[in-house]
Structure 1
Amino acid sequence: MTAGLEDFQKFGKDQFEAVNTAASTFAKNVQAIATEATDYSKRSLDHGSAFFEKLLSAKSLDTAIQLQSEFAKTSYAGFVAQATKFGELYSALAKDAFQPLEKVIAKVQARSE
């Protein structure tokens, strides 16, 4: 009877530690995503401001159109690169956060077999 109680306590402790580790990892990854979003917003704002200054100094319509075209290309390329980065960060978030829980589930499945 004592062995069963000790096993139950160990199982509860393992689950608690797994959930605690998962929550900690989740918070760390969410912080990384928030930091990346803030950095991207700052870079995007700086890029837009620099474009606007160049546009104001354009002497002809052709120059303005060329500047706008270059801005659109670089903005789109930057957005695609950032979307890829966010995808990688969210993927890492899911993988890292659920890894400790997967270990507990594997233990439970192994014991039930």
Structure 2
Amino acid sequence: MAINFEDYQKVSKEQIDAIQASAVEVSKQLQAIAAESTDYAKKSLEHGSAFVEKLLGVTKFEDALALQQEYAKASYEGFVAQTTKLGELYSNVAKEAWKPVEGAWAKAQSSVAA
């Protein structure tokens, strides 16, 4: 069973092209993740600053405690929402990165089997 050199070269080029396409897609997805993380960090900082400003204006301990509880609850909910969103984005990175490689791999296997 001899493999034609031109066929081998064609399959190799297809695999390299698939890897390059995958790298481009992963790069775009990672940029989106970085932007999303930056936005969350800004919102979190603003939320924390607003909390401190409100806390400085409180005169009663009970009000301070209620304000802190509201802040903790909102912060936790925001964190859970953000981690869920980032989990989905990372999952999409893996799926999109694999698609071109999977297609090239299937082609390579079919050409070797033929």
- Interval of TM-score (by shorter of Structure 1 and Structure 2): over 0.9
5+ residue gaps, structure 2, are none
Superposed CA RMSD in Å reads 1.3
5+ residue gaps, structure 1, are none
Partner of 1:104: 104
TM-superposed CA distance for 1:8, in Å, is 1.9
TM-score after normalising by structure 2: 0.92
* Correspondences of 1:28-107 after superposition (within 5 Å): 28-107=28-107
Give, as a single letter, the amino acid of the residue that structure 2 aligns with 1:68.
Q
TM-superposed CA distance for 1:4, in Å, is 2.2
- Note the alpha carbon deviations across 1:82-104, whole angstroms, 9 max, x for none: 00000000000000011100001
3-state secondary structure, aligned to 2:4? helix
Question: Is the CA contact (8 Å cut-off) linking 2:19 and 2:100 kept in structure 1?
Answer: yes
Percent of paired sites with the same residue:
51
Number of residue pairs matched by the alignment: 111
TM-superposed CA distance for 1:9, in Å, is 2.2
